[in-house]
Amino acid sequence: MKGLKRMKIYSSLPKMTHPIEQGLRELSKEYNTPYKELVSHFREIDELNRQLGYESNRERQQESLNDLINKLRVEKENREYEEFPKEYNIESESSIVEKVIERARVHGQKAKEARELLESLSGEEQGMRDQLTWFSEMYWKEYDKVAGSTEKLTCPMCGAVGRDIKVIIDTNKQIDEVEGNPIFARRYICKKCGYKWDDDTY
């Protein structure tokens, strides 16, 4: 009797549109559920939506299909949750997350210490280099003062002069020594063309 009543209700509903039928067939494949069973579920949902006041058949059927999709998705998620290994729970997952975070912090701290060590070594090296060239810079400053040369430095390649010529101390070329402190030669670099040449004083 109950089945007969359901058939009467379904017979009073309009036929499904082609997009709805196509959608139900795709759902049947996706969720591995018989097509007729999905049609039955769809009809039940569609009847409820009709009672709720959906007048447009096309819009109501589309809404009913969406409701069915959500229902199938929830049922699938519930099944997957029940089939999930019991030993893998939220507590164990939280423990793994904590270990991952702790590992990241340890590695990050090591990277920070390595960077700070590198920076300190670079600073010490720069200090040693400054100390190494300090006497040479003082030497050449006094040399120019005594020699009294007024000739401007000129790049032999492009003819640039003055501020376009950078003066550096060439620590690879020692020209003198004062009580164990080396005096290095000068070297010039043109800022315009990049040409480099040695001081020909020595």
Average pLDDT along the chain: 76
Q: Which part of the chain is CATH 2.20.25?
A: 132-202
Place of tokens 């519930």: 78
b/e sequence 32-57, b meaning 16+ C-beta within 10 Å: eeeeeebbebbbebbbebbeeebeeb
Q: Which pLDDT band, with edges at 50, 70 and 90, does 91 fall under?
A: low
Residue-wise pLDDT tens digits, 100-143: 777 777 777 777 776 776 666 555 555 555 667 788 888 888 88
What's the confidence (pLDDT) of residue 7?
Answer: 43
Please tell me the distance from the alpha carbon of residue 103 to that of residue 98, in angstroms, as a whole number. 9
Whole-number pLDDT of residue 86:
53
Assess whether pLDDT exceeds 80 at residue 10: no
Q: Which CATH architecture has domain 132-202?
A: Single Sheet (2.20)
Checking if the pLDDT of 40 tops 70, the result is yes
**Better-predicted residue by pLDDT, 107 or 43:** 43
CB atoms within 10 A of CB 27: 19
CA-to-CA distance for 190 and 157, rounded, in angstroms? 9
- Taken in order 120, 124, 130, 133, the sign of the CA dihedral is negative
Share of the chain above pLDDT 90, in %: 3
pLDDT (tens digit, 9 = 90+) per residue, 149-172? 656 788 988 988 888 899 988 888
Q: What is the DSSP string of 119-184?
A: HHHHHHHHHHHHHHHHHHHHHHHHHHHHHT--PPPB-TTT--BGGGEEEEEEEEEEEEEETTEEEE
SS3 content of the chain, % helix, strand, coil (to 5): 65, 15, 20
Per-residue pLDDT at 3: 45
Give the relative orientation of helices 35-51 and 57-83 as an angle to the nearest 10 degrees.
120
- pLDDT at residue 114, as a whole number: 67
Flag whether the pTM goes above 0.75: no
